[in-house]
Every structure is written in structure tokens, then in C-alpha cells.
Amino acid sequence: MMLELLGTRIIGPFYGVSLYVWSSLISVALIALALGYYLGGLVADKQTRFRLSYVIALAGLTTAVIPLVSRPVLLWTNDLGLRAGAFTSALLLFSLPLTCLGMVGPQVIALAARRRTGVGMAAGSVFAVSTVGSVVGTLLLGFFLLPALGSRVILYGVSAALILLSLVVAWYERRWGHAGLGPVAAAAIATGAGLWLQTDPEPTEYGDYRLVHQAESHYGWVRVVDDRDRRVRWMLSDASVISALRLDTRGPVLSYQKIIADLPHLHPEGRNALLIGLGGGYIATAFAAQGIATDALELDPEVAKAAQQYFLYEPSGALLVGDARYEIRRLDQQYDLIVHDCFTGGSVPSHLLSVEMLRDLDRLLKDDGLLALNFVGFTEGPEATAAAAVYQTLGEVYPHRLALISLPGETFNDFVFLASRQPISLTAEAAWLAAHEHPMPAEGELITDDFNPLERLQVAKAERYRALLLERMGPMLLAF
């Protein structure tokens, strides 16, 4: 389980943390474990000289290799595309250690059965201990180790623990007159030598890009990158750009942010706002400059820190850190403006766009308030069904809707959906927004917690977004 979870930290920054990455990792884990169970049973029945200590040592050795080869593997699979690339990289990086770990169980069961323990009791005890170990490891990883140590250190720690365990097992095997310590000691030396040679610091220069800051949290890798040629500072969360700032003017780079920053003209009496998805904090800063106190809700604490340290964000209201679905249920204040701006892994988290989520948000919106929702998608063609589904779902909650796009004439676009209980009028102060208005289809799939088609509908968008990101920044910057 620890290796599966760590897999998202290695593959996620390159391919995004989407359903495809999770499906790839889980599938590879099941394939490898199935193969390991079979091979372990084969070895146990034939009583070959390939001992349990060898299997554990090989698992430790191949685990230590993962962070050493992850970058070249990810770069090599890049041309395979999002789905095939994610699966192939997971297969190449994790199949060997997981297969070795799968071989352990049958061999331990066979050893216990030979020592006059019933096969049923031996199998039950091994499965119970391994399951409890998985639970403890998962909780330790998620609650304590990841935020404190980071993925690389944990992988090396798991490798070291397996090597030490193999040495202990080899010592017992030697006492029983079986294998010597030689092969296991060789694996331990090879692992130690590999880790010793891994002394080169991670590069900070990638062509025109300079890595200013990076941090790992519960939710992925957060990186701040300066584009020296364009004089732009970017914030990335895994494989998504979540904010940008011009280094010379301190102005916005992303076109949709200019649209949202102008929305107070549509509600001139507005005095407070809720921003879901802080990013670099530009929208909150723009609202504050217009006298609107803005509470911000951000999932990732490392994003909030980077916004304040590198993007000039100063809170004008409360800064809340937590999952939006949970945190908005705890809020009891109502707002004139609510901005829904969540984006990660090349797509909007689908659970944040269901009709149930929008109804929870509606409870926080004043009767004459305005909701703005940012969504990246296609304006036409079969791929436009994702944006149509979001627009349809908004209509289930709000009687008045309006769709704006940041770049008229472009097929791939940032949508800004506006929704309210009252009619929406593009006033003279915001008349320029009329040129960004986009007609939407009358029908679309409804998004609910029970049936959420967005993971399927956002596939083409995620692939297109990733292609554009690689075209602009290159794969080296994204690889673990």
C-alpha cells in the first residue's frame, strides 16, 4: 500500500493525479502481486535454493532503484500519451518490487506449515499480519511521514527496512542450515552504493526556466518556476499551472483572471467574497483593491504558503485550509461574490462540480449574489460535452446563467460561468465582457454525486492541456 500511494507522488507531477494514474497504479499493483503470489507458491513448493531472504533483499534493492530511474522512465514514456504513458511508467517502476513482495506471503505460509502449523492457521496468520501492516503503513505514510520527510526519503527508508529485514531472515536461514548471507549482503552493498552515488542535487535550471521553490504536501508537489524569457512566474501543482504573475508589472498572465477580477462591476454593492481555490492569490488581491474583503479556501497548505511568499498575496479576509466539500458546510456567512476556481491534474476535481456541491455553495450566496466558476474546456466538437455538463448542472441550482470565454475564437478555452438567482446584466462598466460571451447548448449531462460523468468527459481536455504544458515548459521540469 505504501508503494501504491508513493506512486502517485512520482507519476502525478508528470501525468497529473487523475483517475487514469490511480487506475494504472492499482492495476499494476494487482498484476504484480498476482504474479508474485504464483511465483512465491512455485518456489515454496519446489523448495529451491532461492530463499525468502533473497526475495526480501531483491524487493529492497528494486525499491531503492525507483527514485534513481524515475526521471528517465517518465521521459521515455512521455510520447505514449496520458493513459498509456501513466500505465507504462507505473509498470516499469513498480512491478518488480511489488512482485517480490507478493512472493513473500506464500513462502512464509509454506515455512510455517512445515513447522507443524496447520496450513489454514498459517495462511490466516500471514494474511492478518500483512493486512495490519498495510493499515499501519498507510496511516503512518498519510498522517506523518509524507509531510515530514517527502517521497524520496520514504522510498529509501522502505528500501533500507527491507534490506535489514532480509539480513535478519538470512541469519535465521543460516541457523537452519539453509542459505548463507552472501547474496543478501551483496544486495545490501549494492543498495547502499546506489544511494551513496545519488549525491547530485536536483537541477534548478531548465532552459529558460528556473526552479525557485518546491515543496511536497499531502496533496502533491507544489513548484514555483520563473520563466526568464517571458518574465513570468508560474505556480504548478503536480502537472497543472494554478497561477501566474508578471514579474515586471505584477499583473495577471491568465486571461480568465482578468475577467473574474472585473466581476465586481456586475455587483457594485458587493463588499465580501469567497474564493475557492486560492492559487497565487491574484483574484483575492484584485478584489481587495476594489474594497472587497475576500475569504479564501485552499486545499493545499503549501499552495497557501507559496502564494504569500512568492505571489504577493496578503489575506484581506480569512484564509481557510481544507477540502472545499467539508469546509463550506462549516461556513455560515453569506457572500456577495463566490468564485469557484479549482484546477489540478489537468482537470477540475469532479466532486467539486456536482449539483450537491453547488447547492451547498448556494446556501452561502446572498439573494442578489453572483457565482463565478472557472472551467477549462472545448468550445465546440464532441469534447465540448464537459463544459455543457457543468453549464447544465449550474442550471439545476440557478435560474440565471451566462457563459464567458477568455479567448474568443479559440477552441480550447477558459470558461467563466456566471450564475445567480437574479438576472445577470453586463453593465456599462463591464461592457467589454460582452465580447467574451459564448452561447452554450441547451442540453448537457447532469453531474451528481451518484453519477458523475466528468472523469470521462474531461479525458480529451486533460490530454490537450498536458500537451500544451509540455510544449511550453518541456518534460524535464515535470519529471520526478
**Does the structure show a pLDDT above 60 at 180?**
no
Q: Please check the confidence at residue 178 and state whether its pLDDT lies above 60.
A: no
Give me 69's grid cell. Answer: 530511474
What does the mean pLDDT of the chain come to?
87
State the DSSP string of 70-123: HHHHHHHHGGG-HHHHHHHHHHHHHHHHHHHHHHHHHHHHHHHHHTT--HHHHH
User: DSSP string spanning 128-183?
Assistant: HHHHHHHHHHHHHIIIIIHHHH-HHHHHHHHHHHHHHHHHHHHHHHHHTT---SHH
Residue 185, pLDDT score: 60
CB atoms within 10 A of CB 197: 9
CA distances from 65 to 96, 199, 231, 282 (A): 10, 14, 37, 41
Q: What is the per-residue pLDDT across 42-55, written as a single tens digit (0 to 9) for each?
A: 888 776 556 788 89
**Kind and range of the H or E run holding 302:** helix 301-310
Rounded average pLDDT over 293-321: 95
Question: Does 306 score more than 90 pLDDT?
Answer: yes
DSSP character for 351?
Answer: G
Check residue 160 and give its pLDDT. 87
Q: Confidence class of residue 192 from pLDDT cuts 50, 70 and 90?
A: low
Model confidence band, residue 335 (pLDDT cutoffs 50, 70, 90) = very high
Angle between helices 151-175 and 182-197 (to 10 degrees): 160
* CB 409 within 8 Å of CB 373: no
2-197 and 209-473 agree in CATH topology: no
Is residue 441 helix, strand or coil? coil
Query: What are the angstrom distances between the C-alpha of 259 and each of 142, 235, 255, 322, 381?
Result: 38, 20, 7, 26, 24
**Three-state SS for 229?**
coil
Q: What is the mean pLDDT of residues 409-416?
A: 93
Query: Contacts for 268-272 with beta carbons within 8 Å, 24 or more apart?
Result: 268/429, 269/336, 269/368, 270/336, 270/337, 270/369, 270/370, 271/336, 272/317, 272/333, 272/335, 272/336, 272/337
Confidence of residue 152 (pLDDT cuts 50, 70, 90): confident
Are the C-beta atoms of 87 and 4 separated by less than 8 Å?
no
Highest-pLDDT range among 20-29, 87-96, 195-204, 464-473: 87-96
- What is the Cα–Cα distance from 94 to 99, expressed in whole angstroms? 8
Residue reference for cell 472523469: 455
Burial of 90 (0-12, 13-18, 19+ CB in 10 A): buried
Q: Which helix (H) or strand (E) holds 235?
A: strand 232-237
pLDDT value at position 479? 72
Whether the per-residue pLDDT at 379 is higher than 90: the answer is yes
Determine the average pLDDT of the residues in 215-242: 90
What does the block give as the cell for 203?
A: 537541477
Class of 2-197 in CATH: mainly alpha
Look at residue 357 in the predicted model and tell me its pLDDT.
96
Dihedral angle of Cα 97, 103, 104, 108, to the nearest 10 degrees: 180
Q: Where are the domains of the chain?
A: 2-197, 209-473
Range name among 29-33, 107-111, 321-325, 417-421 with the lowest pLDDT average: 107-111
User: What would the pLDDT profile of 117-129 be if each residue is shown by its tens digit?
Assistant: 677 787 788 888 8
- Burial class from Cβ neighbours inside 10 Å (0-12, 13-18, 19+) for residue 1 reads middle
Report the CATH number of the 209-473 domain.
3.40.50.150
DSSP state of 195: H
Q: Look at residue 291 in the predicted model and tell me its pLDDT.
A: 94
pLDDT greater than 80 at residue 193: no
